[in-house]
Amino acid sequence: MAESLAINGIDDSPRGRLLSAAAHLFRDKGFDRTTVRDIAASVGIQSGSIFHHFKSKEDILYAVMEEVIHFNTARLRDAMAAEATTKGKLRALIRAELQSIVGDTAEAMTVMVTEWRCLGEDKQRKALELRSIYEQLWLDVLTDLHQQGILKTDPFIMRRLLTGMTGWTPNWFDREGPLSLDDLADIILARVIGEQE
């Protein structure tokens, strides 16, 4: 049973508790190896009762992704708004994305990356539209830095490399270890704008 309150950016309603439990199980075992019986059991109901809240198992996966994209797009906006310089905005974006990926919404974010293809075509397209808003925030800042001459690499390529660097962190970063999230953000920032930390 996962703790569900505010974890993964999901509210504490009956539906929210189902989504949090699902996010936890999907990350642990993957979508295909998680049964609706698993999800039901982890919130203390029977498998048939799931389908009062969601039309299908795939709908649960889509809802997890939708919630986490919305939550983290807002987080990115807030983080940038507090910064005056473009370079400061980039550092804020990196910190916010790391926080999303290894922090409070880690389960749902990992699910979004790893279980993407378990969505049918229609829902993949809908989720991609939501993601493109999130991506545009990155591209605006990187393009700005490129025009200022601070970023030498092509902004689109740089965003791809950044996605790789941050997206892989759940596989190695230890939140209890000596390296802080802010330290890691600075290391990654230096990889982007060419300074040595």
Partner DNA sequence: GTCTATAAAGTGATAGAC
Partner DNA sequence: GTCTATCACTTTATAGAC
Residues that bind DNA (CB under 7 A): 14, 34-37, 40, 44-49, 51-53, 55-58
CA distances in angstroms from 41 to 13, 36, 54, 63, listed in the order given = 17, 8, 16, 19
Residue 7-46 contact track with a second copy, rule CB under 8 A, x = bound: ----------------------xx-xx-------------
- Using CB distances below 5 to 8 A depending on partner kind, what does residue 150 bind out of a second copy, DNA, none? none
**Do residues 134 and 76 lie in contact, with contact meaning Cβ atoms separated by under 8 Å?**
yes
Least Å from the CB of residue 48 to a second copy: 23
Amino acid identity for residue 146 in this structure: H
Least Å from the CB of residue 52 to a second copy: 27
- Using CB distances below 5 to 8 A depending on partner kind, what does residue 34 bind out of a second copy, DNA, none? DNA
CA distances in angstroms from 174 to 49, 70, 124, listed in the order given = 37, 26, 31
Residue 105-124 contact track with a second copy, rule CB under 8 A, x = bound: ---------x--xx------
Vertex 68: Cα angle to 64 and 73 (nearest 5): 155
Task: Give the residue carrying structure tokens 């999130």.
Answer: 134
* Phi and psi based region of residue 71 (left: phi greater than 0; alpha: psi -120 to 50; beta: remaining): alpha
- Using CB distances below 5 to 8 A depending on partner kind, what does residue 152 bind out of a second copy, DNA, none? a second copy
Residue from 37, 77, 125, 160 in contact with a second copy (CB under 8 A): 160
